[in-house]
Amino acid sequence: MKEKLKQQDEFRWWLDKSARPRMNVGAKIIGSKEIINTLEDAAVEQLTNVATLPGPIEPVLAMPDAHWGYGLPMGAVGAFDAEEGIISAGCTGFDINCGVRLIRTNLSVEDVQPKLQQLVEELFNRVPAGVGSQGKIRLSDSQFSDVIRWGAKWAIDNDRGVPADLAHCEEGGYMEGAAMQAPQVSEKARRRGRPQLGTLGAGNHYLEVQKVEKIFDEPVAKVFGLEKGQIVVMLHCGSRGFGHQIATDYLESMAVAVKKYNIWLPDQQLVCAPANSPEGQDYYAAMKAAVNFAFCNRQVMTHWIRQGFEAVFGRDWESLGMHLVYDVTHNICKFETHEVNGLKRDMYLHRKGATRAFGPGNPKIPEDYRSVGQPVLIGGSMGTASYVLVGTEQAMKETFGSTCHGAGRAMSRKAAIRKYHGRDIKNALEAKGKVVRSMGTKILAEEAPNAYKDVHVVVDSVHGADISRKVASQIPLGVVKG
């Protein structure tokens, strides 16, 4: 399928809807030649599969971090007409609202380096991590309903943050209209989620103490409160077992829905339901519950991260300048309105392993950032860099206000485990002066830096295409993994 791609410019590739039968729209890939050369043909085929679903809005998009995934590639965007299109659990993903937040400090490398080992140990002890990890908060059934209704706002109302944190979260830290009980949200999902609030989990989730290494755009960096040599904290996690169970439940119910509504599928992983059907709207409401859980999860961990810094540096978090820069979400479906061919269209927009990147002036952006655009947080890997970018007007015109979300895997977790040894990864990172704590060494093999694409190449592609622009880069000093 890759041979049918047509290069439009240095960072854009087009796949016409004539590339295979049943495609309703064309597909676009953002990426340099180097990105295209390493992109799996199977991922390109998955883009064409999505283009065959009912009611897509052109184009189906893949970002430079794209790789083969469940149904839709990770690192992809699929927009569907609000009336004639579909909503798909597979196109949203299992880890609903897997996202990233960045916390700045007024500390320098010189302040932190002598206490780095102590700081990482403190964070590791305060933030529960690992497969099946359980949090320190014990919730009643009614309290859990409040969590999935109010998201990060629940944490703020329960003294685990301040109102300014909500202002710097995508969607204000929660989505209205979340389902809370069966039949939309199963009792099994609630049982899995209730003990996991405030937990990092495992896989590619992490907590990193980072140093701002480079500033690419001084004026925008100043608006975001970033400067060279500054210490920041990046947190990456999602909705844990709660979101995974909701995805699992609706993959089953949507498998029934496709037969009920006579929807042809090229891949059973793309099970879906008409956007306005009871099945589609039930999923959308349940998905919002998982979205809100994830926002609250990150907020609770932010509270414990701030406490960890307080314990190590003997000052309150406010005096340490530990304010939230922003919190972005991946793996989500949203009702949005975008201009398409000069006309405004309502759509259900699936961003799977993709980040919202709204440009300047958008009312969805916090007021203090609105003049420059939305912060975009791009996670790297343990041994490389992460980035802060800013959304652009070009993204609004071309990619439904979307960009990449990270480096993107270059090999599967199983392949990484076969190739790398966790102890060797840990030793190599510590030889470079980094402090690494994890629940085991296997996870370090899964997340080996070389198991990912080159994050610099990925970011250069979205920067070159002007769908988000580089503001700053950070390198990890201390890493906490599940």
Catalytic residues: 405
The neighbouring-strand residues paired with 346 are: 337
Check: CB of residue 11 under 8 Å from CB of residue 461: yes
Helix axes 116-126, 278-313, angle to 10 degrees: 140
169: Cβ–Cβ under 8 A, 6 or more apart, which residues?
Answer: 101, 152, 295, 299, 324, 326, 327
